[in-house]
A = this chain, B = another copy of it.
């Protein structure tokens, strides 16, 4: 097996887990994001999905992107906002967000506090797409989304 099996029990302490690396999130130098970290909680060869924990400090945001694969998100820490297609909504701890295929999405820690969320995703998946200049202009034509992107 080329992936080391996880030990059975891994304790939680202050939004870190024993034996789980906390990595800066940087999939692509051209992807604009701010101060977001990533911890992979479960990535097992026998599971069809991975579970990751993403966290950003106040003012941080994830990349505005879309892709074929879905995200199943459960927020964990703090309040913030999520943009999902044409909607911008407040996200509070433990809320669920379903991000369908090819839907533009972004999380922002807009409330002066850290924002952290769990994301379940297929282990085999496509790479995200970023918006072109033209697409970004179209996204900004919705006032709620424009205010969100500028926050």
Contact = CB atoms under 8 A, between A and B. Distances in A.
Interface residues of A, number: 43
Specify how many copies of this chain sit in the oligomer: 2
Nearest to A93: B12
A8 interface: yes
A122 B12 contact: no
Interface in A13-32: 17, 20
A84 B6 CA distance: 13
Contacts of A142: none
Interface stretch (A44-52, A55-63, A106-114, A129-137): A44-52
Interface of A: 5-12, 17, 20, 41-42, 44, 46-49, 51, 69-70, 72, 74, 82, 84-85, 87, 89, 91-101, 118, 120-123
12 contacts: A5-B98, A9-B96, A10-B96, A11-B92, A12-B93, A12-B94, A17-B94, A41-B74, A46-B69, A46-B70, A47-B72, A120-B120
